[in-house]
Amino acid sequence: MTGRFSGRRVLVTGASRGIGAATAQRFAAEGADVAIVARTLEQHDHLAGSLNETAARLRDFGGRVAVVAADMTDEDARARIVPDAVEGLGGAIDVLVNNAAAAMYAPLRNFPLKRRRIVFEVNVHAPLDLAQAVLPAMVERGEGWIINLSSATARPVGGSTMAVYGASKAALNRITSGLALELSGTGVRVNTVEPRAAVMSEGATALIGDTVRADQIESMEEMVEAIVALADCPAELTGRTCVSLDLIDELQLTVHALDGTPPSSTPKGIRS
């Protein structure tokens, strides 16, 4: 455990499993107080992981942990996330990680409106709502970090079944750059980061299973390293759409384990 984020309060959405849970663990290991948000408090119907399980791992590091169960598709539920996190952590949020996402894939010719609305509620409206909620305190303090999790599908690649999800991530990228421009000079940094390759979280494993080759995968530790790098980056690093492994190379980062220690053999992931 290090003290890199000691005294910082971090809010991570989608933290019952996968990238969100791993990111929350890394922040806790680095000394942060962490608020975690997701729908699954106790147990998911199909996937491993829950908020309570993540919270138990975080508490092992000795920091303060706030658990906020909320449905990101519900604007009223979203409205209480930041107030509940602030109350649970005892102060304003320094770092917001918008990781929660709704991934639904279907041909466009019959993609249901209800599902389209869910995708955009979770992937676009929720991140902006939470950003708007944490920004007043960040601007008043003169610093803050907002990291939005994006996807390569934001670019027009792949089949049409990913178009709605990709469109939502393209919207998130555009909102990120616009918000960063709007906040220029305030000390608040706003960036997105996306994996270069597949990160085999519980959800990804259930969705794509054994269809991904080993050379198409990057480690969870690498993805988390890139996220953490954007959580204490300098003021000039803002408005970027970053790619995990490229950012690691650019900043010459050492990839650490989720407990904050440098592994004896750092995973290299995919390198071109």
The CATH number of the domain holding residue 54 is 3.40.50.720
What pLDDT, on the 0 to 100 scale, is given for residue 271? 47
Q: Give the pLDDT confidence of 50-79 residue by residue, as tens digits.
A: 999 999 999 999 999 999 999 999 999 999
Is 240 among the domain residues? yes
Who wins on pLDDT, 1 or 82?
82
User: Do 8 and 95 form a contact (C-beta atoms < 8 A)?
Assistant: yes
Examine residue 140 and state whether it is found in any structural domain, yes or no: yes
Q: Mean of the per-residue pLDDT values for the chain?
A: 90
Q: What is the pLDDT of residue 48?
A: 67
Q: What is the pLDDT of residue 244?
A: 95
What confidence category does residue 43 fall into, taking pLDDT thresholds of 50, 70 and 90? low
In a domain, 190, yes or no: yes
* Domain assignment present for 113: no
Mean pLDDT of the region 138-152: 97
Domain span at residue 30?
9-100+124-149+173-195+219-251
What would the pLDDT profile of 199-234 be if each residue is shown by its tens digit?
Answer: 855 554 445 455 555 555 689 999 999 999 999 999
Domain membership of residue 95 (yes or no) is yes
**Does a structural domain hold residue 161?**
no
> What's residue 197's pLDDT?
78
Catalytic residue list? 165
The percentage of the chain sitting over the pLDDT mark of 70, rounded to a whole number, equals 88
Tell me the three-class secondary structure of 35-65, residue by residue: EEEECCCCCCCCCCCCHHHHHHHHHCCCCCE
Between 207 and 188, the higher pLDDT residue: 188
Alpha-carbon torsion angle 150, 229, 61, 135, nearest 10 = -70
The total of structural domains in the chain comes to: 1
Domain-embedded: residue 16: yes
What integer pLDDT is reported at residue 251 of this predicted model? 97
In a domain, 59, yes or no: yes
d(CA 37, CA 11): 8
